[in-house]
Amino acid sequence: MPEDPVVMYPLVIGGGEVVDANGRRRADVAIATDGTIAAVGDGLAAARTLDASGCVVMPGLVDLHAHLREPGGEDAETIASGGRCAVRGGYTGIVAMPNTTPTVDSAAVVRQVLDAGRDAACEVVTAAAITVGRAGETLSPMGELADLGVRLFTDDGTGVQDGRLMRRALEYGRGLGVTLAQHCEDAALAAGGHLHEGEWSARLGIAGQPAEAEELMVQRDLALARLTGARMHFQHLSTARSVAMVRAAKAEGLPVTAEATPHHLVLTHACCAGFDPVFKVNPPLRTDADVAAVRAGLLDGTIDVVATDHAPHPPQAKERPFDLAPPGMLGLEVALAVIHSELGAELGIEGIVAAMSVRPARIAAMAHQGRPVEAGEVANLCVFDPEVTWEVSAEDTMSRSRNNPWAGRTLTGRVRHTIVAGCPVVEDGSCVRD
Protein backbone atom coordinates (compact mmCIF):
# COMPACT_ATOMS: atom_id res chain seq x y z
CA MET A 1 0.00 0.00 0.00
CA PRO A 2 1.56 3.38 -1.03
CA GLU A 3 2.18 5.90 1.75
CA ASP A 4 0.51 9.31 1.68
CA PRO A 5 2.71 11.74 -0.20
CA VAL A 6 4.48 13.96 2.38
CA VAL A 7 4.96 17.56 1.36
CA MET A 8 8.63 18.42 1.49
CA TYR A 9 9.23 22.12 1.96
CA PRO A 10 12.56 23.60 0.90
CA LEU A 11 13.13 25.17 4.32
CA VAL A 12 11.53 24.77 7.72
CA ILE A 13 12.25 26.69 10.89
CA GLY A 14 11.63 23.90 13.31
CA GLY A 15 10.94 23.53 16.99
CA GLY A 16 10.33 27.13 17.99
CA GLU A 17 7.51 29.05 19.56
CA VAL A 18 5.81 31.47 17.20
CA VAL A 19 4.96 34.88 18.66
CA ASP A 20 3.21 37.56 16.63
CA ALA A 21 0.35 40.01 16.95
CA ASN A 22 -1.99 37.03 17.24
CA GLY A 23 -0.29 35.54 20.27
CA ARG A 24 1.92 32.54 21.00
CA ARG A 25 1.93 28.94 19.81
CA ARG A 26 4.37 26.11 19.26
CA ALA A 27 4.80 25.62 15.55
CA ASP A 28 7.21 24.94 12.75
CA VAL A 29 7.30 27.50 9.97
CA ALA A 30 7.76 26.30 6.40
CA ILE A 31 9.08 28.61 3.72
CA ALA A 32 8.13 28.31 0.07
CA THR A 33 10.54 28.87 -2.81
CA ASP A 34 8.91 32.21 -3.55
CA GLY A 35 9.95 33.51 -0.13
CA THR A 36 6.52 33.39 1.45
CA ILE A 37 5.43 31.36 4.42
CA ALA A 38 4.01 28.11 3.04
CA ALA A 39 2.68 26.62 6.23
CA VAL A 40 2.70 27.04 9.99
CA GLY A 41 2.10 23.87 11.95
CA ASP A 42 3.48 20.78 13.61
CA GLY A 43 5.90 18.26 12.17
CA LEU A 44 6.55 19.99 8.85
CA ALA A 45 9.06 18.10 6.73
CA ALA A 46 11.80 19.90 4.89
CA ALA A 47 14.80 19.49 2.67
CA ARG A 48 16.55 21.76 5.15
CA THR A 49 15.68 22.65 8.73
CA LEU A 50 16.92 25.60 10.76
CA ASP A 51 16.84 24.68 14.41
CA ALA A 52 14.66 27.00 16.47
CA SER A 53 14.34 24.85 19.57
CA GLY A 54 14.21 27.01 22.69
CA CYS A 55 13.68 30.04 20.47
CA VAL A 56 10.96 32.49 19.70
CA VAL A 57 10.02 32.82 16.03
CA MET A 58 8.68 36.31 15.47
CA PRO A 59 8.13 38.74 12.64
CA GLY A 60 11.43 40.34 11.70
CA LEU A 61 12.20 43.58 13.48
CA VAL A 62 11.76 46.96 11.83
CA ASP A 63 13.94 49.95 12.65
CA LEU A 64 12.46 53.37 12.04
CA HIS A 65 15.76 55.12 12.68
CA ALA A 66 19.03 53.91 11.15
CA HIS A 67 21.89 56.08 9.98
CA LEU A 68 23.49 54.11 7.17
CA ARG A 69 25.83 56.98 6.20
CA GLU A 70 25.67 56.28 2.49
CA PRO A 71 26.14 58.35 0.44
CA GLY A 72 29.01 60.41 1.81
CA GLY A 73 29.97 58.73 5.05
CA GLU A 74 31.12 55.33 3.82
CA ASP A 75 34.07 55.30 6.22
CA ALA A 76 31.51 54.98 9.03
CA GLU A 77 28.94 52.65 7.43
CA THR A 78 27.43 51.68 4.12
CA ILE A 79 23.97 50.53 3.23
CA ALA A 80 25.47 47.04 2.84
CA SER A 81 27.32 47.02 6.20
CA GLY A 82 24.38 48.63 7.97
CA GLY A 83 22.11 46.01 6.45
CA ARG A 84 24.35 43.26 7.80
CA CYS A 85 24.24 44.86 11.27
CA ALA A 86 20.48 44.97 10.99
CA VAL A 87 19.94 41.33 10.14
CA ARG A 88 22.40 40.25 12.81
CA GLY A 89 20.19 42.11 15.26
CA GLY A 90 17.04 40.42 13.95
CA TYR A 91 15.88 43.29 11.73
CA THR A 92 14.38 42.49 8.36
CA GLY A 93 13.43 46.05 7.47
CA ILE A 94 15.07 49.38 8.23
CA VAL A 95 14.43 53.02 7.45
CA ALA A 96 17.55 54.93 6.43
CA MET A 97 17.87 58.45 7.78
CA PRO A 98 18.37 61.19 5.20
CA ASN A 99 21.21 63.18 6.83
CA THR A 100 23.76 61.92 4.35
CA THR A 101 26.06 63.84 2.04
CA PRO A 102 24.35 64.77 -0.18
CA THR A 103 21.14 64.88 1.79
CA VAL A 104 18.33 62.55 0.76
CA ASP A 105 16.20 65.44 -0.49
CA SER A 106 15.92 64.75 -4.22
CA ALA A 107 14.66 62.00 -6.48
CA ALA A 108 18.21 61.21 -7.55
CA VAL A 109 19.49 60.52 -4.05
CA VAL A 110 16.34 58.63 -3.07
CA ARG A 111 16.87 56.38 -6.10
CA GLN A 112 20.54 55.95 -5.23
CA VAL A 113 19.74 54.81 -1.68
CA LEU A 114 16.90 52.55 -2.78
CA ASP A 115 19.11 51.00 -5.48
CA ALA A 116 21.85 50.22 -2.99
CA GLY A 117 19.20 49.01 -0.57
CA ARG A 118 18.01 46.38 -3.03
CA ASP A 119 21.35 44.60 -2.63
CA ALA A 120 21.32 44.85 1.17
CA ALA A 121 20.78 41.92 3.51
CA CYS A 122 17.38 43.23 4.57
CA GLU A 123 14.70 45.49 3.19
CA VAL A 124 15.95 49.08 3.15
CA VAL A 125 13.67 52.03 2.60
CA THR A 126 14.66 55.61 3.06
CA ALA A 127 13.24 58.58 4.83
CA ALA A 128 13.72 61.88 3.04
CA ALA A 129 14.44 65.33 4.37
CA ILE A 130 11.58 67.69 5.08
CA THR A 131 13.65 70.65 3.89
CA VAL A 132 16.23 70.95 1.15
CA GLY A 133 19.66 70.18 2.55
CA ARG A 134 18.04 69.89 5.99
CA ALA A 135 18.64 73.62 6.10
CA GLY A 136 15.18 74.38 7.43
CA GLU A 137 14.42 76.88 4.70
CA THR A 138 12.53 75.36 1.75
CA LEU A 139 10.47 72.20 1.45
CA SER A 140 11.96 69.22 -0.33
CA PRO A 141 9.97 67.94 -3.34
CA MET A 142 7.85 65.85 -1.00
CA GLY A 143 5.31 64.79 -3.61
CA GLU A 144 7.93 63.61 -6.07
CA LEU A 145 9.72 61.70 -3.32
CA ALA A 146 6.48 60.20 -2.05
CA ASP A 147 5.85 58.94 -5.60
CA LEU A 148 9.18 57.07 -5.33
CA GLY A 149 7.91 55.36 -2.20
CA VAL A 150 9.11 57.64 0.59
CA ARG A 151 6.67 57.43 3.48
CA LEU A 152 8.61 59.17 6.25
CA PHE A 153 10.09 62.65 6.14
CA THR A 154 12.49 64.05 8.71
CA ASP A 155 15.36 66.51 9.03
CA ASP A 156 16.78 64.18 11.69
CA GLY A 157 19.99 65.44 13.21
CA THR A 158 18.26 68.75 13.58
CA GLY A 159 14.69 69.79 14.10
CA VAL A 160 12.82 72.11 11.75
CA GLN A 161 13.22 75.37 13.68
CA ASP A 162 10.75 77.52 11.79
CA GLY A 163 7.26 76.84 13.12
CA ARG A 164 5.57 78.30 10.06
CA LEU A 165 7.58 76.07 7.71
CA MET A 166 6.86 73.02 9.86
CA ARG A 167 3.18 73.82 9.74
CA ARG A 168 3.27 73.95 5.94
CA ALA A 169 5.22 70.69 5.77
CA LEU A 170 2.65 68.96 7.97
CA GLU A 171 -0.25 70.29 5.93
CA TYR A 172 1.33 69.37 2.61
CA GLY A 173 2.39 65.96 3.91
CA ARG A 174 -1.14 65.24 5.10
CA GLY A 175 -2.33 65.58 1.52
CA LEU A 176 0.27 63.05 0.40
CA GLY A 177 -0.57 60.56 3.13
CA VAL A 178 2.99 60.56 4.44
CA THR A 179 4.24 60.89 8.01
CA LEU A 180 6.50 63.66 9.24
CA ALA A 181 8.98 62.76 11.94
CA GLN A 182 10.79 65.27 14.09
CA HIS A 183 14.10 65.32 15.89
CA CYS A 184 12.91 67.68 18.59
CA GLU A 185 15.59 70.15 19.50
CA ASP A 186 15.39 73.90 19.81
CA ALA A 187 18.69 74.82 18.18
CA ALA A 188 19.25 78.04 20.09
CA LEU A 189 18.69 76.49 23.50
CA ALA A 190 20.73 73.40 22.68
CA ALA A 191 23.57 75.25 20.94
CA GLY A 192 27.02 74.21 22.08
CA GLY A 193 25.70 71.55 24.45
CA HIS A 194 27.46 68.19 24.40
CA LEU A 195 25.57 66.32 27.09
CA HIS A 196 22.51 66.73 29.27
CA GLU A 197 22.65 69.97 31.23
CA GLY A 198 22.64 68.99 34.87
CA GLU A 199 24.73 67.35 37.54
CA TRP A 200 27.23 65.75 35.17
CA SER A 201 27.69 68.61 32.75
CA ALA A 202 28.40 70.80 35.79
CA ARG A 203 30.87 68.38 37.33
CA LEU A 204 32.69 67.56 34.13
CA GLY A 205 32.85 71.16 33.00
CA ILE A 206 31.28 70.49 29.63
CA ALA A 207 28.53 72.66 28.20
CA GLY A 208 25.17 70.94 28.49
CA GLN A 209 21.88 71.20 26.66
CA PRO A 210 18.79 71.50 28.81
CA ALA A 211 15.90 69.04 28.62
CA GLU A 212 13.78 72.04 27.67
CA ALA A 213 15.52 72.24 24.28
CA GLU A 214 13.74 69.00 23.37
CA GLU A 215 10.55 69.73 25.24
CA LEU A 216 9.92 73.11 23.63
CA MET A 217 9.84 71.54 20.18
CA VAL A 218 7.70 68.61 21.34
CA GLN A 219 5.26 71.15 22.71
CA ARG A 220 5.28 73.22 19.51
CA ASP A 221 4.86 70.22 17.26
CA LEU A 222 1.97 68.86 19.29
CA ALA A 223 0.34 72.23 18.78
CA LEU A 224 1.04 72.00 15.04
CA ALA A 225 -0.32 68.44 14.87
CA ARG A 226 -3.51 69.75 16.47
CA LEU A 227 -3.63 72.68 14.06
CA THR A 228 -3.03 70.65 10.91
CA GLY A 229 -4.52 67.27 11.76
CA ALA A 230 -1.42 65.70 10.21
CA ARG A 231 0.24 62.48 11.33
CA MET A 232 3.33 63.25 13.29
CA HIS A 233 6.02 60.96 14.67
CA PHE A 234 8.31 62.01 17.51
CA GLN A 235 11.81 60.62 17.24
CA HIS A 236 13.99 59.47 20.14
CA LEU A 237 12.10 61.05 23.04
CA SER A 238 14.39 61.34 26.03
CA THR A 239 12.82 63.43 28.77
CA ALA A 240 10.08 62.83 31.32
CA ARG A 241 8.13 65.92 30.26
CA SER A 242 8.32 64.98 26.56
CA VAL A 243 6.73 61.65 27.41
CA ALA A 244 4.08 63.33 29.55
CA MET A 245 3.17 65.77 26.76
CA VAL A 246 2.83 62.99 24.18
CA ARG A 247 0.74 60.95 26.63
CA ALA A 248 -1.64 63.88 27.06
CA ALA A 249 -1.79 64.46 23.30
CA LYS A 250 -2.70 60.84 22.66
CA ALA A 251 -5.39 61.03 25.31
CA GLU A 252 -6.72 64.05 23.43
CA GLY A 253 -6.83 61.98 20.26
CA LEU A 254 -4.06 63.60 18.22
CA PRO A 255 -2.67 61.28 15.52
CA VAL A 256 0.85 61.19 16.94
CA THR A 257 3.31 58.38 17.52
CA ALA A 258 6.63 58.30 19.33
CA GLU A 259 9.80 56.29 19.55
CA ALA A 260 12.49 55.81 22.17
CA THR A 261 15.95 54.32 21.78
CA PRO A 262 17.45 51.48 23.80
CA HIS A 263 20.03 53.89 25.20
CA HIS A 264 17.46 56.39 26.44
CA LEU A 265 15.59 53.48 28.03
CA VAL A 266 18.64 52.28 29.95
CA LEU A 267 21.63 54.61 30.12
CA THR A 268 21.98 57.90 32.01
CA HIS A 269 24.26 60.94 31.80
CA ALA A 270 26.40 59.38 34.54
CA CYS A 271 27.80 57.19 31.73
CA CYS A 272 29.69 60.28 30.54
CA ALA A 273 31.71 60.48 33.78
CA GLY A 274 34.80 58.98 32.13
CA PHE A 275 34.70 61.45 29.22
CA ASP A 276 34.29 58.60 26.71
CA PRO A 277 32.54 60.10 23.65
CA VAL A 278 31.02 56.70 22.88
CA PHE A 279 28.38 57.92 25.34
CA LYS A 280 27.90 61.20 23.51
CA VAL A 281 24.60 61.12 21.65
CA ASN A 282 21.88 63.48 20.59
CA PRO A 283 19.51 63.86 22.35
CA PRO A 284 21.88 63.32 25.24
CA LEU A 285 21.62 60.62 27.88
CA ARG A 286 19.50 62.07 30.66
CA THR A 287 18.73 61.50 34.33
CA ASP A 288 17.50 58.43 36.20
CA ALA A 289 14.08 60.08 36.44
CA ASP A 290 13.97 60.62 32.68
CA VAL A 291 14.95 57.00 32.01
CA ALA A 292 12.21 55.83 34.37
CA ALA A 293 9.66 58.04 32.61
CA VAL A 294 10.66 56.87 29.11
CA ARG A 295 10.38 53.25 30.29
CA ALA A 296 6.97 53.94 31.78
CA GLY A 297 5.99 55.56 28.48
CA LEU A 298 7.00 52.46 26.54
CA LEU A 299 5.11 50.19 28.93
CA ASP A 300 1.88 52.21 28.82
CA GLY A 301 1.96 52.68 25.04
CA THR A 302 2.76 56.39 24.99
CA ILE A 303 5.99 55.38 23.28
CA ASP A 304 4.89 53.21 20.37
CA VAL A 305 8.24 52.10 19.08
CA VAL A 306 11.76 51.20 20.12
CA ALA A 307 14.05 52.60 17.41
CA THR A 308 17.81 52.29 17.43
CA ASP A 309 19.14 55.63 16.15
CA HIS A 310 22.04 53.48 14.96
CA ALA A 311 24.67 56.17 14.35
CA PRO A 312 28.06 54.86 13.28
CA HIS A 313 31.20 56.96 13.52
CA PRO A 314 34.66 55.67 12.59
CA PRO A 315 37.02 55.05 15.52
CA GLN A 316 39.13 58.16 14.94
CA ALA A 317 36.04 60.36 15.19
CA LYS A 318 35.44 59.10 18.73
CA GLU A 319 39.12 59.28 19.71
CA ARG A 320 38.77 63.00 20.26
CA PRO A 321 37.88 64.84 23.43
CA PHE A 322 34.21 64.62 24.40
CA ASP A 323 33.26 68.07 23.15
CA LEU A 324 34.98 67.61 19.79
CA ALA A 325 33.60 64.14 19.01
CA PRO A 326 30.41 63.70 16.97
CA PRO A 327 27.28 62.41 18.72
CA GLY A 328 25.86 58.97 18.04
CA MET A 329 26.12 55.31 18.96
CA LEU A 330 25.64 51.92 17.30
CA GLY A 331 22.45 50.03 18.01
CA LEU A 332 21.17 47.66 15.35
CA GLU A 333 23.04 44.54 16.40
CA VAL A 334 22.20 44.72 20.11
CA ALA A 335 18.88 46.57 20.42
CA LEU A 336 16.73 43.45 20.77
CA ALA A 337 19.06 41.86 23.32
CA VAL A 338 19.23 45.10 25.30
CA ILE A 339 15.46 45.55 25.34
CA HIS A 340 14.90 41.89 26.20
CA SER A 341 17.49 42.00 28.98
CA GLU A 342 16.30 45.27 30.45
CA LEU A 343 12.57 45.30 29.78
CA GLY A 344 11.73 41.74 28.75
CA ALA A 345 10.05 40.91 32.03
CA GLU A 346 7.70 43.87 31.79
CA LEU A 347 7.13 43.97 28.03
CA GLY A 348 7.05 40.24 27.29
CA ILE A 349 7.98 38.96 23.86
CA GLU A 350 4.55 40.09 22.66
CA GLY A 351 5.32 43.65 23.76
CA ILE A 352 8.71 43.52 22.08
CA VAL A 353 7.13 42.31 18.83
CA ALA A 354 4.65 45.17 18.99
CA ALA A 355 7.25 47.86 19.72
CA MET A 356 10.03 46.60 17.48
CA SER A 357 8.19 45.08 14.54
CA VAL A 358 4.43 45.57 14.17
CA ARG A 359 4.11 49.26 15.05
CA PRO A 360 7.27 50.52 13.31
CA ALA A 361 6.26 48.60 10.17
CA ARG A 362 2.91 50.35 10.25
CA ILE A 363 4.44 53.81 10.77
CA ALA A 364 6.93 53.21 7.95
CA ALA A 365 4.13 51.76 5.79
CA MET A 366 6.23 48.67 4.99
CA ALA A 367 3.62 46.26 3.66
CA HIS A 368 5.57 43.06 4.17
CA GLN A 369 7.08 43.76 7.56
CA GLY A 370 5.62 43.29 11.03
CA ARG A 371 3.04 40.89 9.65
CA PRO A 372 1.57 37.82 11.35
CA VAL A 373 3.53 34.57 11.00
CA GLU A 374 0.95 32.95 8.71
CA ALA A 375 0.83 31.12 5.42
CA GLY A 376 0.89 33.52 2.50
CA GLU A 377 2.85 36.26 4.26
CA VAL A 378 6.35 37.17 3.09
CA ALA A 379 8.78 35.27 5.30
CA ASN A 380 10.52 38.09 7.17
CA LEU A 381 11.36 36.41 10.45
CA CYS A 382 13.57 36.74 13.49
CA VAL A 383 14.46 33.64 15.47
CA PHE A 384 15.50 34.74 18.94
CA ASP A 385 16.97 32.65 21.73
CA PRO A 386 15.73 34.35 24.90
CA GLU A 387 17.84 32.30 27.32
CA VAL A 388 21.42 32.55 26.10
CA THR A 389 23.69 35.05 27.84
CA TRP A 390 26.59 36.71 26.07
CA GLU A 391 29.01 39.55 26.48
CA VAL A 392 28.88 42.36 23.94
CA SER A 393 32.16 43.07 22.19
CA ALA A 394 32.81 46.24 20.22
CA GLU A 395 35.00 44.26 17.84
CA ASP A 396 32.45 41.54 17.10
CA THR A 397 30.40 43.59 14.68
CA MET A 398 29.31 43.84 11.07
CA SER A 399 29.57 47.61 11.30
CA ARG A 400 32.42 49.63 9.91
CA SER A 401 32.42 51.50 13.21
CA ARG A 402 33.03 50.52 16.82
CA ASN A 403 31.13 53.13 18.86
CA ASN A 404 29.14 50.60 20.83
CA PRO A 405 28.07 51.84 24.27
CA TRP A 406 27.00 48.33 25.29
CA ALA A 407 30.47 46.81 24.86
CA GLY A 408 31.43 44.81 27.92
CA ARG A 409 27.84 44.29 29.06
CA THR A 410 26.38 40.87 29.56
CA LEU A 411 23.00 40.54 27.88
CA THR A 412 20.37 37.84 27.94
CA GLY A 413 18.91 36.73 24.63
CA ARG A 414 20.44 36.73 21.18
CA VAL A 415 19.32 36.45 17.59
CA ARG A 416 19.93 32.93 16.28
CA HIS A 417 18.57 33.18 12.73
CA THR A 418 17.16 35.94 10.55
CA ILE A 419 15.12 35.20 7.45
CA VAL A 420 14.58 37.94 4.87
CA ALA A 421 11.99 37.25 2.19
CA GLY A 422 12.46 33.55 2.77
CA CYS A 423 16.28 33.56 2.68
CA PRO A 424 18.30 32.81 5.79
CA VAL A 425 20.69 35.77 6.10
CA VAL A 426 21.77 35.02 9.65
CA GLU A 427 22.30 31.44 10.80
CA ASP A 428 23.39 30.59 14.33
CA GLY A 429 24.23 34.23 15.00
CA SER A 430 26.47 34.68 11.99
CA CYS A 431 25.66 36.77 8.98
CA VAL A 432 25.80 34.57 5.90
CA ARG A 433 25.28 37.42 3.45
CA ASP A 434 28.05 39.47 1.84
Partner 1 sequence: MKHLLDVADLGGRDGIEDILTLTDRFVEVSNRPIPKVPALRGRTVAWLFYENSSRTRLSFETAAKRLSADTANFSVGVSSVNKGESLRDTARLIEAMGADAVVVRHSSSGAPHRIAEWVDAAVVNAGDGWHQHPTQALLDSYTLRRHVGALDGRRIVIVGDIKHSRVARSDVDAFTTLGAQVTLVAPPTLLPASLEGWPVTVSHDLDAVLADVDVVVVLRMQRERMTEALVPSLREYTARWGITVERAARLHPDTIVMHPGPVNRGVELDAAVADGPRSVIVDQVRNGVAVRMAVLYRLLGHAGATDEEQIDA
Would you tell me which residues interact with partner 1 (CB under 8 A)? 197-199, 201-206, 208, 210, 274-276, 316-317, 319-324
Nearer to partner 1, 326 or 348 (CB): 326
CB of 85 to partner 1, least distance (A): 24
Distance CA 408, CA 119 (A): 32
CB of 208 to partner 1, least distance (A): 6
Nearer to partner 1, 172 or 279 (CB): 279
Nearer to partner 1, 4 or 319 (CB): 319
CB of 324 to partner 1, least distance (A): 6
Tell me how crowded residue 130 is: count the other CB atoms within 10 A of its CB: 28
Contact 59, 358 (CB under 8 A): yes
Distance CA 382, CA 16 (A): 11
CB of 297 to partner 1, least distance (A): 24
CB of 82 to partner 1, least distance (A): 23
CB of 400 to partner 1, least distance (A): 16
Nearer to partner 1, 96 or 206 (CB): 206
Nearer to partner 1, 307 or 317 (CB): 317
- In angstroms, what CA-CA distances link 216 with 76, 141, 158? 32, 27, 14
The phi and psi torsions of 137 (rounded to 5 degrees) equal: -115, -50
Nearer to partner 1, 162 or 199 (CB): 199
> HEC string of the chain?
CCCCCCCEEEEEEECCEEEECCEEEECEEEECCCCEEEEEECCCEEEEEEECCCCEEEECEEEEEECCCCCCCCCCCCHHHHHHHHHHCCEEEEEECCCCCCCCCCHHHHHHHHHHHHCCCCEEEECECCEHHHCCCCECCHHHHHHCCCCEECCCCCCCCCHHHHHHHHHHHHHHCCEEEECCCCHHHHCCCCEECCHHHHHHCCCEECHHHHHHHHHHHHHHHHHHCCCEEECCCCCHHHHHHHHHHHHHCCCEEEEECHHHHHCCHHHHHHCCHHHCCCCCCCCHHHHHHHHHHHHCCCCCEECCCECCCCHHHHCCCHHHCCCCECCCCCHHHHHHHHHHHHHHHHHHHHHHHHHHHHHCCCCCCCCCCCCCCECCEEEEEEEEEEECCCCCCCCCCCCCCCCCCEEEEEEEEEEECCEEEEECCEECCC
Nearer to partner 1, 316 or 430 (CB): 316
Nearer to partner 1, 38 or 204 (CB): 204
CB of 325 to partner 1, least distance (A): 9
Q: Which of 161, 140, 329, 304 shows the shortest CA–CA distance to 235?
A: 304
Q: Which of 89, 35, 34, 90 shows the shortest CA–CA distance to 57?
A: 90
Contacts of 3 by beta carbon, 8 Å cutoff, 6+ apart? none
CB of 158 to partner 1, least distance (A): 20
CB of 74 to partner 1, least distance (A): 18
- Amino acid sitting at position 33: T
Q: Which residue numbers are catalytic?
A: 309
Nearer to partner 1, 104 or 272 (CB): 272
